[in-house]
Amino acid sequence: MRLYYGIALGIILVDQWTKWLIVKYMEYGESIPVIENLFYITSHRNRGAAWGILQGQMWFFYIVTAIVIIGIVYYIKKYAADKLTGISLGLILGGAIGNFIDRLFRQEVVDFFHVYIFSYSFPVFNIADASLCVGVGLLIIAMFLEERRAKELTNGQTTDNNK
């Protein structure tokens, strides 16, 4: 379990440090090209959720985030034996807390990774957002693998019982 909480803490620290750098050294709206026409560091703020939905609904985010954090801690304790699930939950926990800190102290989330995919300007995001997405992706994979193991075990037992 220490590993999973350590991952969450690492995400929180890196997330908050990078956001601090953006706020301290960049003007809002300023954009620095890293790879022209593909990747920029852009100082942006979001008072809502993904893609700016639910702008300004901080009370909603406080309640939902508190429930999510409690749920993740519960699942880490319950399913810590499965390493992939634990790592994915650690990433989700770190991302949720990272953005929660912003909402609590800034009333907005600091975003700065700006990617263009062909001509599409992908919504600006941060370390916490990336951690949440990677964590959810890994959790889906872990759930798929667990389901597969359960089916193999069931099929193996069924075959053995028929002998």
Catalytic machinery residues: 111, 129
Structure tokens at 10: 């690492």
The answer to whether the CB of 117 falls within 8 A of the CB of 153 is no
The answer to whether the CB of 96 falls within 8 A of the CB of 72 is yes
Q: In angstroms, what is the C-alpha Rg of the chain?
A: 19
End-to-end CA distance of the chain: give it in Å, rounded. 41
The answer to whether the CB of 51 falls within 8 A of the CB of 123 is yes
Which residues in 13-159 belong to E strands, given as ranges?
31-35, 39-46, 109-117, 120-121
> Letter for the amino acid at 71?
G
